[in-house]
Structures are given as C-alpha cells and as structure tokens.
Structure 1
C-alpha cells in the first residue's frame, strides 16, 4: 500500500525546541493543522545541517501558511539540544526536533534503515486530517530544497481548498490550475 493518502500512525515523542523546555508531541497534536515531518539520518553530520538550515530559512513562511515543522532523527531530544547549543547553523533554527530513539516515528513513516538504526532522508507533508499528502525521499548524499517544499505545500493547500482543481507541473501560487474533465483528455 502506498503512503500517500494514508493516515499517520500513533506516536509519542519528546521534542526539543529553542527557547522552550522539552515537551511531548503526539499524532493527536498534529491533527487540525498542516505539518511537515523532515526526517534526516543523524545529528552532528554533514548534509543534514545544510538541509535543516535551508528549511529554517523557510520557517516563518511555513508558519504564516499554518504549517508546523518537525525535524526528526533517531537521536534523543538531549542530542538535539546539544547540537542546537553547539552548531552555528542548527542554533538558528526555531522549529521542533523530535527524538525518535525507539524508532517508532521512523517505522511509522517507513523510513527506518533497520540495519543502521537511522532514518532515511525523507519529507512528509500531512494535512489537518492527519493524511499524508506529499512525500519526498532522497539517497544519503542528496540534500533537499525547502523552497520547493513550500511550493508543494502551497499546491496541496490549494487543491484541498479548491475541490475539483489540480495544480499542473511547476505550478506557482496565482498560476492557472486545471479542472480535470473529458474535454482535456488528449489536449494537454
């Protein structure tokens, strides 16, 4: 079964977020809002801080769009705090980091590399009903682009808010959309 269109599974994790105490996040906390789960292999690594910094540059935009952001690795919340306190790139980040040392969240989303105990590099966009609408997964050495993630979320939000409309390739906000119908078959 594909993961797009599926409901997120139950989880409970301790989170670290700058200027906050540690706090618990569950699947129920996510419902009612848009959310990004941004999985990465490990704290204190190489490509990961560049991706997280890139995502951090889009954080205010995502917040204005009503999107919560969760960085997720199989590290503990203590490791997330230590990384935040010692890394210039990570120290700037405002979004929450979930500790997944029991691998529950990584298994739920199908991104755990069992033989290593690490999460794959993967992104999931979850709608307010807890349904996965967007997924991206890359190999170990290929970083993601947060600007493209924002574009995809805008498209997913548009489609949700405009039933019967779809967003074509490279759609940007305020661009034309399509209304699927038999009249379009063979004409695009």
Structure 2
C-alpha cells in the first residue's frame, strides 16, 4: 500500500481503546472510512501534540462515519501506560494500535528502515478498503487534524458525486468543478 488506489490487505493487531485491549483485523475496517495515523513512538515530543489534536476531532470524524486507528511500533501495553500517564494522550478515545511486528507499518510502506519506527504518515481508506489519501511528513513536522477532516470530506464528496471534483481549499458546501473541455485553460 502507500499508493492511491491500493487495497487494504489482511492483518491482525491489538489496540488499546476505551480502557480495554481490543483485537482488530481488516474486517473491523471494511465498510467504513478509516484513518491509519502512524507516528514514530510513545512517550515522545511531537507525537502527543498530534494525537491530542486528532482526539479533539474524533467526534466529528465519527459523525462522518470515519474510524481512527493510531499506529506505532510500540506495544498496546505501552499505549495503555502512555494513555494513563499523559493528559494529552489521555483524551484519546480512538484505537491505539500496537504494531511491534511491523505488519501494518510494512503494509502501508511506512516503516523507517534500519530504525524500526513508523514514519509520521496518514493513510485514509474508503469503505471498500481502497487507499484514497496519503500524507507523510518528516520527523519534526506535526500534522493538522482539521486539514485531515477537510480532506476526508472532499474525498467523500468526490466519491459520492461522480463527475465533480473539489478544487484547492474546498470546504463542505463550497462550489465544485465539473471537468470538461470547456474548462481547459479557463481556470
């Protein structure tokens, strides 16, 4: 995976969610939009700021039919300990997936070779498990959950409205474009 249009493969992992350890597979992802939000490691610096930002948008994402899976190469035990000891991470209600065997990180082609950590990557799949959005940033650059929500709204709109596309900075309710020969050179 890692390439738009790729199909989600089979996997099994354990996450920490709602105070419990939860076994998940691709079957828990199919049928809904899903965000795989990879980050390098628990108990670090940029990661908790991103995870907290995403936690603040989780209710909005769920209302849109989107599930969130934060993934690092730490264990689900480490996720629980971090959740229990950090005010920022303690806000998280979405899945925190342990990928110590690098199954998901490798599937999404998001493993930092020779280091054993995930890159800071965001991957969004549609209900059929097809990769629709990809964003990877360097170690020191955090992501913006509001922009992720905007991009998912645009991807959903585009998929639900064939023949229309969302221009730059498109916001829900804004005008879209209907590509045609009449638009060539006129935008």
TM-score range, shorter chain: over 0.9
Aligned to 1:59: 58
Residue segments in structure 2 that go unaligned for 5+ positions in a row: none
Q: What is the aligned-residue RMSD (CA, Å)?
A: 1.0
Counterpart in 2 of 1:5? 5
Q: Does 1:71 align with 2:59?
A: no
Alignment of 1:23-172 (within 5 A): 23-172=22-171
Q: Give the structure-1-normalised TM-score.
A: 0.97
* TM-score (structure 2 length as normaliser): 0.98
| SS class of match (1:88) | coil
Point out where structure 1 has 5 or more consecutive residues left out of the alignment: none
Partner deviation per Cα, 1:74-124 (whole Å, 9 max, x = no partner):
000000000001111101111111110000100000110121100000001
Structure-1 residue corresponding to 2:16: 16
- How many Å separate the matches in 2 of 1:23 and 1:92? 18
Alignment: residue pair count: 187
1:125 Cα shift? 0.8
* Structure 1: distance between partners of 2:22 and 2:94: 13
Distance 1:2 1:54, change over 3 A: closer
